[in-house]
Structure 1
Amino acid sequence: MIKWAITLGEFDISYQPKPAKKSQAVANFIAEFTYPVDIASTLEAVASLPPEAQKIKPTFPVWTLYVDDSSNQQGYGAGLVLTTLDKVAMEYAIRFKFKASNNEAKYEALLACLRLAKHLRVKQIDIFSDSQLVVNQVTNNFDAKDSSMTAYLAQTQLLPKHFHYQITQVP
């Protein structure tokens, strides 16, 4: 660094460090330059699950939804990739305008995808999430122990009356 400072100093050029990027600028960049997701690798992960986790007997054409959440110091949000019957992948990014714990963000992401499926009049959907807690609470393998998780679970159980869905945990 000093070598460059000396070399550039004779031309009256000085180094000025760039300011830190704001998280919103990075998010805007990612949103603007994100290309369609190759979900084949995710499908391979699902194929590696035990056979009982892969079972579904569709009575309607099945849509597929991959959901992931984000909870950090800059904010809270979720990402959804919905694959239609025609294998068209639609990507959604959601930013929550409220504080949420990591588990609350996971439930908010699931609720957002259930609302989306209801809005699109989906009859049957396979949902894949990385949240062990949410998946096991929704499938009644875990009990919701605190009041906020109980409230989220109750909301999650209200929406599926409009369609059939199966939720699976993926790594």
Structure 2
Amino acid sequence: MEKIAFALLISSRKLHSYFQAHSIVVMTDQPIRKTMNKIDTAGRLIQGTIELGQFNIEYRPRAAIKAQILVNFIAKFTYPCKEEELPMKTWTVQTNGSTTKKVGGAGVVLISPQREILTYAVRLQFSVTNNEAEYEALLTGLSLAKALKAKNLIVQADS
């Protein structure tokens, strides 16, 4: 929590003129305001709270979008390991999604344990945001891996 509050403080210092001229809305899933207003707040945060108090800052809960929830899920349940620690029959799924004004697309590359490369391109028949295209690419990659009965999977999504 201190790191988030410190990042906000540094931002306010670097963008001082913007913070003075405009109302600032901080979208977060962390209770920053509540933490900074506690009586037993650490000394470093007290000074930051006073400094940030001069600005019109509104804290709003950040609504999660589908793609962000999926990214958070994968990040939480993915454990980094070294190449030699991977099971022998490990598949790799690489995904990427993109959009234009009218159409979206998803690209998937599957790499088998024997290093065979399978490439797929999917044209999305509906309007999507870039995040949604990334989400669709990941779902497509996972569906293809399941259809190929891949048990051990490394997922690499382009950013």
Give the structure-1-normalised TM-score: 0.43
Question: What TM-score comes out, normalization by structure 2 length?
Answer: 0.46
